[in-house]
C-alpha cells in the first residue's frame, strides 16, 4: 500500500510478514478491529490523549479537532479513526491520498459530508498539490472554493461545508508540508508494539476467531510479529490452520514454532528475503561494508526490494547498518544466524569504528 515502486510493492504483497494489508486481511480485519478506546490495546499515551480530546469535544457538543496519526502500516491507524467516529457517534467516510488526484475529487467528498462526520484520509502525504491546498481551507474554515469553467472565464464559487473531523494518516509526519501539519489540532505518533501488547492482541483475536491458544503459543507468535498487530493477526491465522491440520487445534509454543518454520518466518520475524540479505552480507562479504547494488545482485533481487522491503526491519532490529561506505552487519546479525565473525573483522573493514570491539 505504501510502496511507490512496483517491484517493492509486489515483493511486499507476497510476504507473510509484510505490514500492508492483503485481500485476506481486509476480509478478516473488520471482525478483529477493536470497537472502542477501551478495547484498543497498547499505545497508552495516544489513547489517553485522544480520550481527553474526544471527551472534551463531546462535553462541548462540538465536532472533534482534526487528528493526524503517523506510524508504520498495520499499527492501528484505520482502527483508531473508526474508534474516533464510534466514540463521537458520527458516521465515517474512508478514502486515501492516492485516490484524490484532482481538487474536484476532494470537493465532491467534502461537499457530501454530514455534520460531524469523520473523514479518514489514509496516506494523506500522497494527495495531489491542488487537493492539498483545497484541504487547508476546508480544515480551517469549513469552506472550499469550487472552480467552475476554465481559463480567464473561470470563477470560484465558495461552498460552505458542515463541520467535520479530518483524521489523516501517514507513515511519517515529516513527509507532510508544515502548513498541512499545523492544521491538525491533535497529532499522535504510533509506536511499534511490545511483545506483551502483541500477546494481548493475539489472545483477543484468538477469542474472536474461536481459536484455542495457550500463553506460550501467543508469546511465540508475538515474538515473530515485528511489533505489528496486523502481522500478529495474520501469523495467528496461519498457525491456526497448521494446528487444525497437524494437531488437535490447540496452539502451543511448539505448534506455533513448527507452523512458522513451514512459512519460513524465523524466531525474530525475519522471512526468507530478510535472511537472504543477511546471509549474503555475512557469508559473501564478511559482514560488509558492501554497496547496496552489489548486495542486491548477490541475493538476486532488485535494489529497491532490498532497500525498501528488507532493510528497514533489519535496521530497526539492529542487525544491519547503512553507512556511507555501504551496508554493514552488526554483531547481532552474526549471532542471529549462528555464525562467527571472521578474525579480520576487527581490523580495517569499518566494523571496529562503528560498533566497538
Strands 186-189 vs 320-323: parallel, antiparallel or unpaired: unpaired
Position 118 contacts ligand ADP (CB under 6 A): no
By beta-carbon proximity to ligand ADP, the closer residue of 29 and 307 is: 29
**Per-residue CA distances from 117 to 63, 123, 164, 287 (Å):** 8, 19, 5, 53
The whole-angstrom separation of Cα 355 and Cα 91 is 52
Q: Which of 29, 117, 311, 317 binds ligand ADP (CB under 6 A)?
A: 29
Is 122 a known active-site residue? yes
Using Cβ positions, the residue closest to ligand ADP within the complex turns out to be 76
Position 201 contacts ligand ADP (CB under 6 A): yes
The active-site residue, picked from 63, 78, 170, 228, is 78
117 marked among binding-site residues: no
Is 77 a known active-site residue? yes
Question: How many other C-beta atoms are found inside a 10 Å radius of the C-beta of residue 346?
Answer: 12
Q: How many residues bind ligand ADP, per CB under 6 A?
A: 19
Contact yes or no for 40/88 (Cβ under 8 A): no
Q: Which of 15, 18, 37, 40 binds ligand ADP (CB under 6 A)?
A: 40
For residue 296, the minimal CB distance to ligand ADP (Å) is 27
Residues in 55-84 at the binding interface with ligand ADP, rule: CB under 6 A: 73-79
The active-site residue, picked from 25, 63, 77, 126, is 77
Binding map of ligand ADP across residues 217-256, x = CB under 6 A, - = no contact: ------------xx--x-----------------------
The whole-angstrom separation of Cα 150 and Cα 172 is 36
Question: How many other C-beta atoms are found inside a 10 Å radius of the C-beta of residue 42?
Answer: 20
By beta-carbon proximity to ligand ADP, the closer residue of 42 and 116 is: 42
Residue 145's SS3 state is strand
According to DSSP H, which parts of the chain are helical? 6-13, 23-32, 44-60, 77-87, 103-111, 129-141, 178-181, 195-209, 215-223, 229-246, 253-262, 272-279, 292-299, 303-304, 311-316, 331-336, 351-355
Residues marked active site are found at 77-78, 122, 171, 230
**Residues of this chain that bind ligand ADP (CB under 6 A):** 29, 32-34, 40-43, 73-79, 201, 229-230, 233
Question: Which residues contribute to the annotated binding site for Mg(2+)?
Answer: 78
Amino acid at each position: 500500500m505504501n510502496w511507490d515502486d512496483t517491484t517493492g510493492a509486489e515483493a511486499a504483497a507476497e510476504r507473510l510478514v509484510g505490514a500492508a494489508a492483503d485481500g485476506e486481511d481486509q476480509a478478516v480485519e473488520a471482525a478483529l478491529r477493536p470497537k472502542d478506546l477501551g478495547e484498543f490495546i497498547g499505545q497508552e499515551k495516544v489513547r489517553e490523549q485522544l480520550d481527553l480530546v474526544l471527551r472534551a469535544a463531546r462535553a462541548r457538543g462540538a465536532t472533534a479537532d482534526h487528528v493526524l496519526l503517523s506510524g508504520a502500516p498495520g499499527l492501528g491507524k484505520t482502527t483508531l479513526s473508526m474508534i474516533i467516529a464510534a466514540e463521537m457517534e458520527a458516521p465515517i467516510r474512508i478514502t486515501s491520498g492516492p485516490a484524490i488526484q484532482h481538487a474536484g475529487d476532494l470537493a465532491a467528498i467534502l461537499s457530501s459530508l454530514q455534520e460531524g462526520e469523520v473523514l479518514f484520509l489514509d496516506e494523506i502525504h500522497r494527495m495531489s498539490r491542488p487537493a492539498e491546498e483545497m484541504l487547508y481551507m476546508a480544515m480551517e474554515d469549513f469552506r472550499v472554493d469550487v472552480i467552475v469553467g476554465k481559463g480567464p472565464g473561470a470563477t470560484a464559487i465558495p461552498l460552505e461545508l458542515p463541520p467535520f473531523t479530518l483524521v489523516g494518516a501517514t507513515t511519517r509526519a515529516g513527509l507532510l508540508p508544515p502548513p498541512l501539519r499545523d492544521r491538525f489540532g491533535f497529532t499522535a505518533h504510533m509506536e511499534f508494539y511490545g511483545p506483551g501488547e502483541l500477546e494481548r492482541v493475539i489472545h483477543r483475536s484468538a477469542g474472536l476467531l474461536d481459536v484455542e491458544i495457550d500463553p506460550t503459543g501467543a508469546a511465540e507468535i508475538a515474538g515473530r510479529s515485528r511489533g505489528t498487530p496486523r502481522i500478529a493477526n495474520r501469523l495467528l491465522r496461519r498457525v491456526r490452520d497448521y494446528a487444525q491440520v497437524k494437531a488437535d487445534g490447540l496452539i502451543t509454543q511448539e505448534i506455533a514454532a513448527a507452523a512458522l518454520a513451514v512459512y519460513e518466518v524465523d524466531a525474530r520475524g525475519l522471512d526468507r528475503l530478510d535472511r537472504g540479505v543477511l546471509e549474503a552480507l555475512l557469508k559473501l562479504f564478511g559482514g560488509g561494508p558492501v554497496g547496496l547494488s552489489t548486495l542486491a545482485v548477490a541475493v538476486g533481487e532488485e535494489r529497491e526490494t532490498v532497500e525498501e522491503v528488507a532493510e528497514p526491519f533489519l535496521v530497526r532490529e539492529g542487525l544491519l547498518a547503512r553507512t556511507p561506505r555501504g551496508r554493514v552487519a552488526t554483531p547481532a546479525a552474526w549471532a542471529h544466524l549462528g555464525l562467527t565473525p571472521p578474525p579480520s573483522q576487527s581490523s580495517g573493514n569499518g566494523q571496529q569504528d562503528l560498533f566497538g570491539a
